[in-house]
Amino acid sequence: MALSYVLEPAVSGFNFENSTRNIVLENGSEEGKIKAPKPMKTGTTIAGVVYKDGVVLGADTRATSDEVVADKMCAKIHYIAPNIYCCGAGTAADTEKTTDMLSSNLTIFSMNSGRNPRVVMAVNILQDMLFRYRGMIGAHLILGGVDCTGSHLYTVGPYGSIDKVPYLAMGSGKLPAMGILEDRFKGNMDLEEAKALVSDAIHAGIMSDLGSGNNIDLCVITKEGVDYIRPHRESIYNYKRQAKYKYKPGTTPVLTKTVNQLELELVHETVQMMETAGSS
Amino acid sequence: MDSHHSYSQVKGVSTGTTILAVKFNGGVIIGSDSRASMGESYVSSKTINKLIQVHDRIFCCIAGSLADAQAVTKMAKFQLSFHSIQMESPPLVKAAASIMRELCYNNKEELQAGFITAGWDRKKGPQIYVVSLGGMLLSQPFTIGGSGSTYIYGYVDAKFKPDMSLEEAIQFSTNALALAMGRDNVSGGVVHLVVITEAEVKHVVVPGNKLPKFHDE
């Protein structure tokens, strides 16, 4: 086949060996019930728009873990290649790792073939991988980039479906964001218009969705290069602390102090010489 | 086609859809709507492409889970192209349909997608094959599929004539799709038609506002 890229060997799906154990633990007797930890989701608003000279991607920066904001300045626009970036919604770990793997594979491909990767190749690799995992990887992605064939924006779903679109919003805040995009999108916008549109779409998502919030990141990709604006717009709710809340040393009086020496017995010692004679 | 199968259990993006193919004098028309839905209430795309070219004169249209359908057609495109290189000649439409059938039948537990394969080849001219959900392969002079097809069985049975001209066939397909889109909530958008003849492949797009209107609209 064509130039190969290094993808992990196709093991059949996920390892479900622990599922029966987990069910037993969760349904245990009243005192023994254990709740499984919930994965951190980026209840999110992400959006992308193709404009005259390239692609503008946008995202909010809130990562939630149930009702708590786990990360206020989470980076949801991931680097894939110098000319390709990807916004991720869904399970935070899944989007991070999927985009990381994609980026490594494309770098290897670039080095092997001497060519810059195309957006459509990135999309195909993602589609293959996500389809193979049958929706278990919760990654809803917006992939955008500029290559020798033009500017492209694709959506990749967790089951492995793809669609090529001129504008798009994903994540829990996608409905309000889509409203803004549907209203104001035009073909061939200029840069400032496109940035304002994406920024307003994310803002609508932030205002109308509990899972999205904090700042807005933008990423502008053109033939010339990438402008990663982080943050483009900061949240109006300022989180700067009013005073220093550290306790001074001596605040808590020390009453007694005991030191227990640990008796360590040297049982076994091996020495292995390293080959440091400068070879490679 | 399995028209009574409910597509609401499809996970992820579904092309709850209307697709059709019809043979006319000298070629075949394959057509679809352009809506992709998620669940029963969100239209995830108004302009999805359901007519996938698997070879120069062979197209497939897809119904069911979008992810499954795209994966199967990608695989079929690769296998067909390889087959065509080995045989050193353009593949038969039946070969394309058989490849799709093998994939659907052997993976019937995991896949939820149905296809209509249509095209032109030197041996038998224009042909239409249906590959349904479980992997059944059937050749027909015209066929409809997808969730919206249930609303137009009467229309197509009454109005189809063998050996129509190109214009009649285009009118027939457009009317059928417009009627289905008018009654089925998960079909909609624009009408995509591809006309396949020996000489060329032509795309015809009929936008929503140019669709034929029927007396109650």
Can A44 be counted among the known catalytic residues? yes
pLDDT tens-digit map of A52-99:
999 999 999 988 877 788 888 889 999 999 999 999 998 888 999 999
Q: What percent of chain A has pLDDT over 90?
A: 56
Distance of CA B81 to the CA centre of its chain: 20
Q: Do A131 and B71 touch (CB under 8 A)?
A: yes
A157 CB neighbours in chain B (<8 A) are: 12-13, 66-67
- At residue A118, the pLDDT reads 93
* pLDDT greater than 80 at residue B113: yes
- At residue A23, the pLDDT reads 83
A20's torsion region: left (phi>0), alpha (psi -120 to 50) or beta? alpha
**CA-based nearest distance B198→chain A, Å:** 29
* Residue whose token pair is 């352009």: B34
Residue A29: which pLDDT band, with cuts at 50, 70 and 90?
low
B74 CB neighbours in chain A (<8 A) are: 124, 127
Q: Do B67 and A163 touch (CB under 8 A)?
A: no
The tokens describing A167, both together, are 């504008």
User: Cβ-count burial of A69 within 10 angstroms (0-12 exposed, 13-18 middle, 19+ buried)?
Assistant: middle
Return mean pLDDT, chain B.
90
- At residue A9, the pLDDT reads 60
User: Cβ-count burial of A32 within 10 angstroms (0-12 exposed, 13-18 middle, 19+ buried)?
Assistant: exposed
- At residue A46, the pLDDT reads 95
Q: Residues B122-141: what's their mean pLDDT?
A: 94
* pLDDT greater than 80 at residue B159: yes
Q: Does B67 touch chain A (CB under 8 A)?
A: yes
Q: Does B11 touch chain A (CB under 8 A)?
A: yes
Residue B200: which pLDDT band, with cuts at 50, 70 and 90?
very high
Q: Lowest mean pLDDT: which of A28-32, A151-155, B68-72?
A: A28-32
Residues 6+ apart with CB under 8 A from B13: A157, A159, A161, A163, B36, B37, B38, B44, B45, B65, B66, B67
Q: Residues A160-183: what's their mean pLDDT?
A: 94
- At residue A42, the pLDDT reads 60
Q: Residues B12-21: what's their mean pLDDT?
A: 84
Considering only residues A14 and B68, tell me which one the structure prediction assigns the higher pLDDT. Answer: B68
ipTM (interface pTM) = 0.78
Q: Does A127 touch chain B (CB under 8 A)?
A: yes
Q: Does B107 touch chain A (CB under 8 A)?
A: no
Q: Lowest mean pLDDT: which of B14-18, B27-31, B120-124, B189-193?
A: B14-18
Q: Do B12 and A131 touch (CB under 8 A)?
A: no
Q: Does B66 touch chain A (CB under 8 A)?
A: yes
B44 CB neighbours in chain A (<8 A) are: 163
From residue A94, alpha-carbon distances to A90, A134, A145, B192 in Å are: 8, 14, 21, 36
Q: Does B71 touch chain A (CB under 8 A)?
A: yes
Identified catalytic residue from A44, A45, A61, A95? A44
Residue B4: which pLDDT band, with cuts at 50, 70 and 90?
very low
- At residue A7, the pLDDT reads 62
Q: Where are the beta strands (DSSP E) in A30-176?
A: 46-50, 54-60, 63-65, 68-71, 77-81, 84-90, 139-147, 150-156, 162-164, 167-170
Return mean pLDDT, chain A.
87
**CA distance linking residue A61 with residue A42, whole number of Å:** 9
Helices (H), B89-145: 93-106
**CA distance linking residue B127 with residue B118, whole number of Å:** 6
* pLDDT greater than 80 at residue B162: yes
Residues 6+ apart with CB under 8 A from B15: B35, B36, B37, B48, B50, B62, B63, B64, B65, B66, B69, B146
Q: Do A159 and B45 touch (CB under 8 A)?
A: no
**CA distance linking residue A167 with residue A56, whole number of Å:** 10
Residues 6+ apart with CB under 8 A from A114: none
Q: Do A158 and B47 touch (CB under 8 A)?
A: no
State if pTM tops 0.90: no
Q: Residues A166-188: what's their mean pLDDT?
A: 94
Residue A106: which pLDDT band, with cuts at 50, 70 and 90?
very high
**CA-based nearest distance B51→chain A, Å:** 13
Q: Give the count of beta carbons closer than 10 Å to the beta carbon of residue A67.
A: 6
- At residue A236, the pLDDT reads 75
Q: Does B111 touch chain A (CB under 8 A)?
A: no
Residue A5: which pLDDT band, with cuts at 50, 70 and 90?
low
Strand partners, A254: none
First-last CA distance in chain B: 29
Q: What percent of chain A has pLDDT over 70?
A: 90
Q: Does A13 touch chain B (CB under 8 A)?
A: no
Q: Does B47 touch chain A (CB under 8 A)?
A: yes
- At residue A27, the pLDDT reads 81
Considering only residues B130 and B216, tell me which one the structure prediction assigns the higher pLDDT. Answer: B130
**CA-based nearest distance A207→chain B, Å:** 21
Q: Residues B103-124: what's their mean pLDDT?
A: 93
**CA distance linking residue A77 with residue A145, whole number of Å:** 12
CB pairs under 8 A between A and B: 43
Q: Do A160 and B47 touch (CB under 8 A)?
A: no
**Is the CB of residue B80 less than 8 Å from the CB of residue A172?**
no
* pLDDT greater than 80 at residue B82: yes
**CA-based nearest distance A156→chain B, Å:** 9
Sheet holding A226-233, edge to edge: A167-170, A46-50, A54-60, A216-222, A226-233
A124 CB neighbours in chain B (<8 A) are: 74
* Chain A, window 64-103: residues with a beta carbon less than 8 angstroms from a chain B beta carbon: none
Half-sphere exposure at residue A236, Cβ-oriented, CA atoms within 13 angstroms:
3
pLDDT tens-digit map of A149-167:
999 999 999 999 999 999 9
A127 CB neighbours in chain B (<8 A) are: 70-71, 74
Handedness of CA B165, B169, B170, B175 (dihedral sign): positive
- At residue A195, the pLDDT reads 95
Residue B217: which pLDDT band, with cuts at 50, 70 and 90?
low
* pLDDT greater than 80 at residue B214: yes
Residue A25: which pLDDT band, with cuts at 50, 70 and 90?
confident
